[in-house]
Structure 1
Amino acid sequence: MRKRATAKEVADAAGVSKWTVIRAFTPGASITEESKRRVLEAAAVLNYTPNLLARSLATNLTHQVAVFVDDFANPQKLPFLETLTERLQAEGLVAVLININNHFDHVHALLNADQRQVDAVILFGTAFRNETLSDRQLGRGMPPMFVLARDSQIDGVPAVVCDAELALRDIVDHLYERGYRRPGFMTGAPALSTALRRRQHFIDFWKGKGVDEIAILSADRYSAEAGAGSVRHYLNDIDPAARVDVLMCENDILALGAMDEIRGNFGLRIPDDIAVVGFDNYELGGASCYGLTTYEQPRIEMVQAVIGMIKGRLEPETVTLPGKLVVRTST
């Protein structure tokens, strides 16, 4: 294996001290232009780059952020992860993606992240238990945690989330104005300490308009297949005269699966027989074959907020940001 050039070798070549080399690669450090020029020229000749892991021993910062994900089947995760990793890298931070699953639970993941000395942990999934994250193995020295894109119900863990109350008010107002009066709601995977609260707001706003009967459909995970299966079970079991006239799904992936099932296997028209609404504004939902009405989360602003807390520019507190209703042909 190629032997890496050291800071001492660069210092000898440039005729300066090792600490001058370190200052030359430290943003904002005090160093003369002439010394910095000599260091950078010697570094280029020796193909030297600073060892960030070694530097972290002195700064107590590794510039690594662990991102915990537990529902990779949900394709809406990808746009968020793209924005998150891009913005982290722009800040000089690196994302360490950790897959939470049956073989690697949250406690093991947190202990592993702590051993790697990550600067922070972002919980970006559905099933983070308060009692699990409060496990006695996890002490005070653990890195700070933040929840992204879901409400946090974990003490001391702030969240950055789209304003669900505002979103559902806008959605229900739109549906009511269009004349729908028999609403239904499809939930996704059961959430634990990081909930969405979309269903409850949906129910509350309909009740505020005098509509008390709301059908609740359940999907066991966030996938098109689960959305199709949930609506199939509902349509098979309900009398056609009693069917909902509008179905809101907790996210777009469920909605797309439901739409395929409603039209493909039951021959119903959207929105004439059943209107459909999603949430997240997933790109495929905008295709002409779907025309899915949805709600767009402020993805960039949410990512900027959580990174601002990690970098210390913002106070670590729960932040709620407004999104926007996107009306298409499905309603």
Structure 2
Amino acid sequence: MRKRATAKQVAEAAGVSKWTVIRAFTPGASITEESKRRVLESAARLNYTPNLLARSLATKSTGQIAVFVDDFANPQKLPFLETLTEQLQAVGRVAMLININNHFDHVHALLHADQRQVDAIILFGTAFRDETLTDRQLGNGTPPMFVLARDSQIDGVPAVVCDAELALRDIVDHLYSRGYRRPGFMSGAPALSTALRRREYFSKFWSEKGITHVEQLSAQKYSLQAGALGIRNYLSDTSGKERIDVLMCENDILALGAMDEMRGRFDLRIPEDIAVVGFDNYELGGSSAYSLTTYEQPLREMVSIIIRMIKGEVDPETVTLPGELVVRSST
């Protein structure tokens, strides 16, 4: 490999000190326009770029943000990750994506992230165990942690999340106004240290309308196949007259899988036989094949706030934001 040009070589070519070269590549540093011009011209000739890892030793900041994800089967993760990486890069940070699942120990993953000298950790999944996140091995030097798009149940770890109470009130009000009276709720992956609370609020608001029983369906994870299996098990075990008349799914991916199964295997009409509503406003759900009623999270604003917390521009505290009900023909 060809050796990289060094700051010392650029300094000699530009006739300045090594520290002047460093200041030329440091935003906001004190340096004359003439000195900066000479440094940048010499750097271009030598194809020099600053070593960010070496600079981090002095600044105590690497610009790297670890993002922990476990449920990669959920395609709704992609819009969030796209927005997150886009906004991080816009402020000079980069994301380090770390796969957290049953094959990887959470404590070791956190230690690995810390050894990489990341500036912060974003928890973006379902199975972050409180007892391991607070393990004594981590000590006080662990980077600050934040939860994105779920409620945090970990002391000292703030979250930025869509307001589930407001969202489910809007959804239940809409369904009730359309005449549905036999609701069901399909939940996804069980959460350990982060939660959605959508099932809790769904049952609460139906109860306020005098309907105390909400049929509970479980999909175990967030995927099309899991949604299909969840509704298949329910419909196979429940006769037509006893079935729910509306199914709320914890996210759109479960809803799409359930809709395919209801139409393909059971020849049911949507919404005439069973109405369906999801959550997230996943792009495919808006197609004419599904026309899924859903709830859209304020994705860009949520990501923006968590980045401002990481940068220290706002206090690190849990923030809930309102979203928007999107009504389509599935209800």
Q: Give the Cα–Cα distance (whole angstroms) in 2 for the partners of residues 2 and 103 of structure 1.
A: 39
Q: Secondary structure at the match of 2:136?
A: coil
Give 1:243 deviation, angstroms: 0.5
Aligned to 1:189: 189
Give 1:101 deviation, angstroms: 1.9
Aligned to 2:137: 137
Q: Give the Cα–Cα distance (whole angstroms) in 2 for the partners of residues 132 and 54 of structure 1.
A: 31
Aligned to 1:299: 299
Aligned to 1:102: 102
Task: Verify: 1:151 aligned to 2:182, yes or no.
Answer: no
Q: Secondary structure at the match of 2:95?
A: strand
Q: Give the Cα–Cα distance (whole angstroms) in 2 for the partners of residues 206 and 132 of structure 1.
A: 36
Q: Secondary structure at the match of 2:211?
A: coil
Q: Give the Cα–Cα distance (whole angstroms) in 2 for the partners of residues 105 and 272 of structure 1.
A: 47
Letter aligned with residue 119 of structure 1: D
Aligned to 1:309: 309
Letter aligned with residue 180 of structure 2: Y
Output aligned runs, 1:183-222, within 5 Å: 183-222=183-222
TM-score of the pair, normalised by structure 2: 0.99
Q: Give the Cα–Cα distance (whole angstroms) in 1 for the partners of residues 293 and 44 of structure 2.
A: 54
Structure 1 segments unaligned to the other structure (5+ residues): none
Letter aligned with residue 139 of structure 1: G
Aligned to 1:123: 123
Task: Verify: 1:242 aligned to 2:242, yes or no.
Answer: yes
Give 1:77 deviation, angstroms: 0.3
Output aligned runs, 1:14-29, within 5 Å: 14-29=14-29
Q: Kindly provide the CA deviation profile for residues 49-101 of structure 1, in whole angstroms up to 9, marking residues without a partner as x.
A: 10000000000000000000000000000010000000000010010000012
Aligned to 2:51: 51
Q: Give the Cα–Cα distance (whole angstroms) in 2 for the partners of residues 319 and 102 of structure 1.
A: 29
Aligned length: 331
Task: Verify: 1:114 aligned to 2:114, yes or no.
Answer: yes
Q: Give the Cα–Cα distance (whole angstroms) in 2 for the partners of residues 330 and 132 of structure 1.
A: 41
Aligned to 2:268: 268
TM-score of the pair, normalised by structure 1: 0.99
Aligned to 1:257: 257
Q: Secondary structure at the match of 1:212?
A: coil
Letter aligned with residue 299 of structure 1: L
Letter aligned with residue 26 of structure 1: T
Q: Secondary structure at the match of 1:97?
A: strand
Q: Give the Cα–Cα distance (whole angstroms) in 1 for the partners of residues 110 and 247 of structure 2.
A: 38
Q: Secondary structure at the match of 2:329?
A: coil
Letter aligned with residue 23 of structure 1: R
Give 1:135 deviation, angstroms: 1.0
Q: Kindly provide the CA deviation profile for residues 235-264 of structure 1, in whole angstroms up to 9, marking residues without a partner as x.
A: 111121011000000000000000001111
Aligned to 1:40: 40
Q: Secondary structure at the match of 2:35?
A: helix
Q: Give the Cα–Cα distance (whole angstroms) in 1 for the partners of residues 310 and 152 of structure 2.
A: 17
Aligned to 2:230: 230
Q: Secondary structure at the match of 1:259?
A: helix
Q: Give the Cα–Cα distance (whole angstroms) in 2 for the partners of residues 90 and 192 of structure 1.
A: 32
Give 1:44 deviation, angstroms: 0.6
Q: Kindly provide the CA deviation profile for residues 219-241 of structure 1, in whole angstroms up to 9, marking residues without a partner as x.
A: 11100100000101001111210
Q: Give the Cα–Cα distance (whole angstroms) in 2 for the partners of residues 75 and 217 of structure 1.
A: 21
Give 1:103 deviation, angstroms: 2.5
Q: Secondary structure at the match of 2:138?
A: coil
Give 1:34 deviation, angstroms: 0.5
Give 1:43 deviation, angstroms: 0.5
Q: Give the Cα–Cα distance (whole angstroms) in 1 for the partners of residues 103 and 207 of structure 2.
A: 43
Q: For the aligned residues, what is the CA RMSD?
A: 0.5
Q: Give the Cα–Cα distance (whole angstroms) in 1 for the partners of residues 2 and 278 of structure 2.
A: 53
Give 1:267 deviation, angstroms: 0.6
Give 1:102 deviation, angstroms: 2.5
Provide runs of 4+ in structure 1 moved above 2 Å: none
